[in-house]
Amino acid sequence: MFSEMTRTVDQQEGLLYPRLLAVAERAWHRAKWENVSDVTARNTSRVQDWSRFANTLGYKELPFLDRLGVAYRLPLPGARGQGRRWKVNTEYPNQNLEVSYDNGATWDNVVSDTATAPDEEVPHFRTRSPVRQRYSRVAPSSSVNVASSSSVVGFITNE
């Protein structure tokens, strides 16, 4: 952040949040897994700690930042094509996923059902914040990857 040139408050907030919340969490919270010598137990505890942090962020802190009007970074959704079906996820829970089959002219909500995308249509994906209805950048399906620490998984429909 300190080496970045920001021209607006929104740009600055996008670089700071939610990263600043993660820095604060690590600075003030001593995780149980930090001093565990058994690798398997440490990794299990670390994954549980991440899940707790991601849920707190997704359900409590990010909606709070939304209500304050903070322009935090909305991460791109992850997506993986499976034939004409796409498996999608978000980095944090409580973020909405949307898909467009017409280069962003219209957007449909992602649902958790299995669905088939229209033939020869290139889906575009974006993440939507739950409170202020802000959006991430739009990602064409050719440039999206499934996040390794996915918290939401669903299939898209064009309904």
> Could you report the per-residue pLDDT of 81-105, keeping only the tens digit for each?
776 777 888 888 998 888 888 888 9
Dump pLDDT digits (tens) for 138-147.
877 665 544 4
Chain centroid to Cα 66, Å, comes to 15
pLDDT of residue 148: 47
DSSP element (H, E) containing 154: strand 154-155
Residue among 26, 30, 4, 31 at smallest CA distance from 15: 4
Give residue 85's pLDDT: 78
Q: Predicted confidence band at 56 (pLDDT cuts at 50, 70, 90)?
A: very high
Q: Decide which of 151 and 107 is more confident.
A: 107
10 pLDDT tier (thresholds 50, 70, 90): confident
* For the chain, domain boundaries: 9-68, 78-155
Least confident of 11-20, 34-43, 79-88, 131-140: 79-88
Which of 55, 78, 159, 145 has its CA nearest to residue 113?
Answer: 159
78-155 in CATH: which number? 2.60.40.10
> What does the pLDDT read at residue 67?
92
Confidence of residue 70 (pLDDT cuts 50, 70, 90): very high
Q: What was the pLDDT predicted at 154? A: 44
The rounded distance, in Å, linking the Cα atoms of 143 and 60 is 30
- The two structure tokens encoding residue 73: 């970074």
Which value, in Å, is the radius of gyration of the alpha carbons in the chain?
A: 17
Q: Is the dihedral angle over the CA atoms 30, 60, 99, 74 positive or is it negative?
A: negative
